Amino acid sequence: MNGWDEQDSGVLRLPSGRLVRGRGLRHALDPDAPRPSYGVYLLGGSPPEVPWASRWLRWPDFRLPADHGEARGVLIDAWERSAAERVEIACGGGRGRTGTALACLAVLDGVPPQEAVAYVRERYDRRAVETPWQRRYVRRFRPVT
C-alpha cells in the first residue's frame, strides 16, 4: 500500500491496511531498510537531521506531548499521509512515546480508544505505552469527527 514491508521490524498494520513504522532513534537504522518519506520525531529536544520530510513534536521522555492540540494535528497528518507514504514514528527508545502515538493512530484508524493500547502491544511491542498517563492519553484520544 505505501512501500513498507509488514514483515520488517517495527512495522505496524492498522485495521485499514495502512502500514506505519515505529522506531527507537537510539538504535541504528539498518542500512538496507527502506527509508521513510515522512517522519514524526517525539523528543524533548531537537531531533537529528534526516534527508526526508519530518516533523518534530516536543514530547519529553516518559511524559505527554507539550502541546496536546499540536500533537493531535501532527498525528492526524501522519495518519492521513500513511495511506500513500512511508510514515515513521520515532522517539528515543521506540516504546513509550512511539507506542502512545501508534495507539493514537490506531484510534484514528477505527480501533476503540479503550482497546488501542492492547492493539499496539499485540502487534508492535508488548511494552509499548509505558506510563499510566500515556495509557490515559490514548483512552481520551478521539478520532476525527
If one counts the domains in the chain, the total is: 1
Contacts of 72 (CB under 8 A, 6+ apart): 141
- Asked if the structure places residue 4 within a domain, the reply is no
- Residue 35 sits in a domain whose CATH number is 3.90.190.10
Share of the chain above pLDDT 70, in %: 97
- Asked if the structure places residue 116 within a domain, the reply is yes
- Asked if the structure places residue 50 within a domain, the reply is yes
- Asked if the structure places residue 64 within a domain, the reply is yes
- Asked if the structure places residue 108 within a domain, the reply is yes
Other Cβ atoms less than 10 A from the Cβ of 115: the count is: 14
Rounded to two decimals, the pTM is 0.95
- Asked if the structure places residue 6 within a domain, the reply is no
Q: What is the mean pLDDT of residues 64-78?
A: 96
- pLDDT tier at 32, thresholds 50, 70, 90: confident
Q: Which domain holds residue 19?
A: 11-140
| SS3 of residue 133 by DSSP | helix
- Asked if the structure places residue 145 within a domain, the reply is no
